[in-house]
Amino acid sequence: MAMQRFPLKKYASVELNQVGFPKTGLVVSQTPLGVEFTEDAPCENGMWVLADKARGYIGSAAATTDSPIGIVYTSEKEYDMNHYGLNTFGRKIQGDCPRVGIFALGDTITSNCFQYDTTEFATVEALMAACAAYETTPLYVTVVANSPVPKLTKTKPASGCYAKVTKCYTVPNGEAGLKYQIVHL
């Protein structure tokens, strides 16, 4: 079993289609990143994280958890005229404070921040074919233990926070992406 990232040019991006957390106030923005985020493994928009205020950091969740799971949706920055767009932004320094929205049932999001198991999708082409056939063969997005990058799978999870893919789409910068809806917390 080998995990691969969904095809990206650089960093993942996210579009919040219909979410409740800005209105309900379930936004965490004053909690720093944990030690697992580094230059080589930055915190990207669209990652599913555990905003653990009690321990004072943002990090990966277990596969199933009683704690609320949220999505990173920090505003992208334009570093200079040569580096702009939604796929050039990632929080890299331990201690940075990303913005995290805590999921509620029905939240709908478009993103390209996923990983997949190569035993389930042998090639990128097989993955993209499965994404295009989401209406006949459902796809799910679920938490991966000790990884902030959610997993795309054909198998409906038995428990934990997961979403169902509702559209094979593009993210705002034109890269391939998926729209999904949170169906279980």
How does strand 140-144 pair with strand 69-72? unpaired
Dist CA 44 CA 17 (whole Å): 18
* Domain extent at residue 104: 3-184
- Strand, coil or helix: 164: strand
CA proximity to 145, closest of 38, 53, 69:
69
Taking the model in full, what pTM does it have? Answer: 0.89
pLDDT digits (tens, 9 = 90+) for 124-181: 999 999 999 999 999 999 998 888 999 999 999 988 899 999 999 888 878 999 999 9
pLDDT digits (tens, 9 = 90+) for 65-76: 667 889 999 876
How many domains does the chain fold into? 1
